[in-house]
């Protein structure tokens, strides 16, 4: 870390130490610090956070105080330094320079699968098709992170399989790369007190726990007793004063319950700090296209999540419907890419086609490969940010990129052609286009009217 970044790190640590003396009185100092060191970056985000800190009527007024009162100070400081200093203020400008230098995508986050193994066998999970034999070694994961940091990447997200099958290695990586943030999508059934204490010690690992809804829905897909194991894990994490969130996949079958106000409020009661909603993707030869939400259902999810996010103290991300905030599709290395347990470098955790493997190419070489350069050349895939994906909403785009790049299916158990995958999306894309275009135009008119009034 250079001298300027060391000063920033010391600045935020001193600011946090001052805040902890009297959080309610001193909390606005964190934004004074952010304004000082941001160099003008992220003005809208900084303004929103300051309002949440200072306005008692703001729905996130209590949420921010929870971060200082209910989370261990070591965890809060570690994540704040790693996220704001390393991933944002240091990493982002470096990534921008390299994007210009190499004329290719440079990611902000890297998703990787430590293993294809899982202790559960959930209905409809494409990860299960990979089997239990594939693993990235500790040294391979370490090398990926080292390469990533050379590109300015300090955010790493574990998927799988079940990443916590490798929890000893994950803790070792947290120790070695103490300057990074690690997020782990997990079923949570392997979280015990020893591991929670290890998470508390390193301070830079955050679990995103999968739930299908309430007990009946979760156990129906994941197995009897899983819901209660998840609840126990969250109670343990809460007792240890750790940060954790929830991951939910909405389908045509569960969308109503999993996005209900009752379920959302239950997540707040369980102490979650964020919830990440994912649209069902018909990935894999055994996928069920009938689980794709209808246009009416997707609009319902869109409206509910935005309402909750604006009124309740739980931060929600809607992976498919929030594309307008990030300029469309973020895959293909534009903001993230995915490396599976076989080392294949996929453009997206949902799109398993590759022409590169981390055991044969460096990250930078892969980012300049035909498949990821096709993403770079074609993004955004649609001017309507409610139709961002080259698979789900623009399947003709994925067909073309796979064919032209010569990419192959990276599903080693049951390879699926791009034509087979995209054919499952054609009808969905056709019907969603009508609703999405109407909603997008309505939003544009609403924003224009709001600007005019101001």
Read off the pLDDT of residues 237-270 as tens digits, 9 standing for 90 and up. Answer: 999 999 999 999 999 999 999 999 999 999 999 9
Give the residue-averaged pLDDT of 392-417.
Answer: 95
- Position 427 pLDDT exceeds 60: yes
Q: Where are the beta strands (DSSP E) in 14-169?
A: 109-112, 155-158
Q: Report the 3 state secondary structure along 327-379.
A: CCCCCCCCCEEEECCCCEEECECCECEECCECCCCCHHHHHCCHHHHHHHHHC
224 secondary structure, DSSP code = T
Range scoring the smallest mean pLDDT among 58-72, 116-130, 269-283:
116-130
How far, in Å, are 24, 170, 376 from residue 238 at the CA level? 22, 21, 41
DSSP single-letter state for residue 293: P
190-215 pLDDT, tens digit each: 999 999 999 999 999 999 999 988 88
Backbone angles phi, psi at 413, to 5 degrees: -85, -45
- Decide if 200 contacts 72 (C-beta within 8 A): yes
Confidence class for position 454, pLDDT limits 50, 70, 90: very low
Radius of gyration of the chain from Cα atoms?
21
User: What's the pLDDT score for residue 7?
Assistant: 62
Q: Could you tell me the CA-to-CA distances from 204 to 63, 179, 184, 226 in Å, in that order?
A: 20, 8, 11, 26
Contact 355, 370 (CB under 8 A): yes
Given the structure tokens 């460096």, which residue do they identify? 362
In percent, the amount of the chain with pLDDT more than 90 equals: 72
Bigger pLDDT: 411 or 150? 150
pLDDT band at 121 (very low <50, low <70, confident <90, very high): low
Q: What is the pLDDT of residue 50?
A: 86
Q: Which helix (H) or strand (E) holds 206?
A: strand 205-210
pLDDT at 15: 80
For residue 113, the model assigns a pLDDT of 96
- For 163-236, strand residue ranges (E) read 181-186, 205-210
Give the residue carrying structure tokens 């275009």: 437
- pLDDT for 453 equals 45
pLDDT score of 6 more than 80: no
CB 257 within 8 A of CB 218: no
Contact, 222 vs 228, CB < 8 A? no
Output 333 or 37, whichever has higher pLDDT: 333
Determine if the pTM surpasses 0.75: yes
- Tokens standing for residue 213: 């809804």
Average the pLDDT over 308-320 and give the result: 95
Query: Looking at residue 450, what is its pLDDT?
Result: 53
Q: What is the pLDDT of residues 169-180, one digit of tens each?
A: 999 999 999 999
The CA distance from 208 to 199, in Å, is: 13
Whether 274 and 236 have beta carbons less than 8 Å apart is answered as no
126-140, 206-220, 225-239: segment of lowest average pLDDT:
126-140
Q: Is the separation of the CB atoms in 391 and 418 below 8 Å?
A: no
């Amino acid at each position: 870390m250079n001298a300027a970044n060391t000063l920033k790190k010391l600045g935020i640590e001193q600011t946090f130490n001052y805040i902890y003396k009297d959080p309610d009185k001193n909390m606005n100092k964190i934004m004074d610090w952010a304004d000082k060191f941001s160099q003008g970056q992220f003005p809208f985000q900084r303004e929103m956070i300051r309002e949440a800190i200072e306005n008692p009527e703001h729905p996130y007024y209590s949420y921010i105080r929870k971060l200082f009162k209910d989370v261990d100070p070591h965890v809060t400081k570690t994540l704040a330094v790693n996220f704001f200093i390393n991933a944002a203020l240091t990493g982002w400008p470096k990534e921008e320079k390299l994007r210009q230098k190499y004329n290719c995508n440079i990611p902000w986050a890297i998703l990787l699968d430590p293993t294809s193994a899982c202790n559960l066998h959930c209905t409809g999970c494409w990860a299960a098709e990979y089997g239990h034999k594939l693993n990235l070694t500790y040294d391979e994961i370490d090398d990926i992170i080292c390469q990533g940091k050379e590109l300015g990447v300090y955010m790493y997200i574990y998927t799988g399989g079940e990443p916590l099958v490798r929890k000893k290695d994950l803790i070792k990586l947290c120790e070695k790369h103490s300057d990074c943030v690690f997020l782990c999508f997990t079923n949570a059934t392997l979280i015990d007190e020893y591991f929670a204490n290890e998470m508390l010690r390193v301070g830079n690992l955050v679990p995103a726990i999968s739930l299908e809804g309430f007990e009946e829905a979760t156990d129906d897909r994941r197995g009897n007793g899983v819901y209660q194991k998840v609840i126990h894990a969250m109670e343990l994490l809460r007792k240890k004063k750790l940060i954790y969130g929830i991951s939910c996949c909405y389908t045509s079958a569960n969308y109503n319950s999993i996005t209900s106000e009752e379920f959302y409020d239950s997540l707040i009661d369980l102490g979650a700090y964020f919830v990440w909603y994912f649209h069902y993707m018909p990935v894999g030869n055994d996928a069920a296209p009938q689980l794709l939400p209808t246009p009416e259902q997707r609009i319902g999810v869109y409206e509910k999540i935005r309402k909750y996010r604006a009124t309740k103290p739980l931060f929600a991300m809607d992976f498919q419907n929030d594309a307008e905030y990030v300029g469309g599709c973020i895959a293909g290395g534009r903001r993230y890419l995915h490396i599976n347990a076989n080392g294949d470098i996929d453009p997206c955790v949902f799109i398993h086609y590759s022409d590169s493997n981390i055991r044969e190419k460096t990250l930078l070489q892969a980012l300049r490969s035909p498949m990821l350069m096709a993403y770079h050349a074609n993004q955004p895939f649609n001017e309507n940010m409610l139709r961002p994906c080259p698979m789900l909403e623009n399947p003709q785009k994925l067909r073309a990129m796979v064919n032209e790049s010569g990419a192959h299916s990276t599903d080693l158990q049951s390879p699926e052609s791009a034509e087979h995958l995209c054919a499952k999306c054609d009808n969905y894309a056709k019907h969603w286009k009508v609703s999405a275009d109407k909603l997008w135009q309505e939003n544009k008119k609403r924003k224009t009217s709001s600007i005019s009034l101001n």
